[in-house]
Amino acid sequence: MPRIILFTLLCWFSGSVFAAQLSAENGLELLLINGKKAKSYGKHADKAVDLYPATYQIVARFDDEVKRGARSTIFTSKPYILTVAMGEDDLVLTIPRLKFESQATAFFRKPSWTLTNKTTGLNTNLQSEKLVGSGFGSFKNMEQAIADYNRKNGIVFEDGQAQNLEEVLVSVEENGSVSIDGDTFTQLKLWYTKATDEEKKSFRKWMIEQDFQ
C-alpha cells in the first residue's frame, strides 16, 4: 500500500467564518505570510495579524535585544519557514525566552517553535526550514527569496492557502520507489512552478501556438 504524502489543505467551517489572530512573542517577528510582506496585512502585522481559517506559509525570525557579557546587543536570526494551520482560535507563535547571545546562537542551530492555542492552551511543536539566501544581501528582497524557494519546491498559493504540489502528487511505495500521481492539470502546475522565466515564456508561446492549430 503506497504511502501518500499530503499537504494540509484549506479547511472551511460550516456557517460564518471568522478571522483568528496569529501573534508572535518572545522576540519573534513575522516577515512573510504566503509570500507577501507581513506588514501588507497591517501596520503591526509583524507581531499580530488576523487570518481566516486556512493553511499559511509563514516566514519568521528572532530579532531582539540579548546580553553579550555586560552589554546589550541586537541578535537577529536567519529567517525560517513554517506552516501554520489557522482555525477559529487565536494562536501564538513562540520560542523559549532568550536572554544571552550565546544562548540565542546555540538555540538557532536547531530551533524549536511552539504554536499555542489561546483558547484550549494546547501547545503544538512546529517543524521549520531555514530560508537560504543566494549570497550577501540576498535577504534585502525577502519576497524574492521565498518566491525562489517556492518555485524550486513546487509550492503555490490558491484561494489564499499554501499548497505544496510535490507533496500532493508524490507517493512513496513501500520499496522506496517514487511515483507522480494526480490529474494532468495539477502536474502541469507543478512543472510550471519549477520552470525558469525563459522556460515559462517558451511554454506560454507554445500554448498560444497550439490554440491556433
Task: Give pLDDT, residue 95.
Answer: 98
Mean pLDDT of 196-202: 73
Q: Report residue 190's pLDDT band, with 50, 70 and 90 as the boundaries.
A: low
Task: Give pLDDT, residue 16.
Answer: 53
Task: Give pLDDT, residue 6.
Answer: 38
- Residue 40 gets which letter from DSSP? G
Judge whether residue 200 has pLDDT over 90.
no
Mean pLDDT of 145-173: 65
- Alpha-carbon distances of 52 from 35, 61, 84, rounded to whole Å: 16, 22, 12
- In whole angstroms, give the CA distance from residue 33 to residue 51: 10
Interacting residues of 145 by C-beta distance below 8 A, sequence separation 6+: 79, 131, 133, 134, 138, 139
- In whole angstroms, give the CA distance from residue 107 to residue 95: 10
pTM: 0.69
- In whole angstroms, give the CA distance from residue 139 to residue 33: 15
Helix (H/G/I), strand (E/B), else coil: 174: coil
- In whole angstroms, give the CA distance from residue 88 to residue 97: 27
Q: 147, 109, 111: which is closest to 27 by C-alpha?
A: 111
The phi-psi region of residue 50 (left if phi > 0; otherwise alpha if psi is between -120 and 50; otherwise beta) is: beta
- 39-43, 150-154, 198-202, 204-208: lowest mean pLDDT where? 204-208
Task: Give pLDDT, residue 136.
Answer: 52
Task: Give pLDDT, residue 74.
Answer: 97
Neighbours of 4 (CB within 10 A): 12
Compute the radius of gyration of the chain from its Cα atoms: 20
Task: Give pLDDT, residue 164.
Answer: 55
**pLDDT tens-digit readout, 89-144:** 999 999 999 999 999 999 999 999 999 999 999 999 999 999 987 555 557 789 98
69 vs 197: which has the higher pLDDT: 69
- Alpha-carbon distances of 132 from 80, 83, 137, 184, rounded to whole Å: 9, 17, 12, 31
Judge whether residue 5 has pLDDT over 50.
no
Q: Which amino acid is at 67?
A: K
Mean pLDDT of 26-37: 95
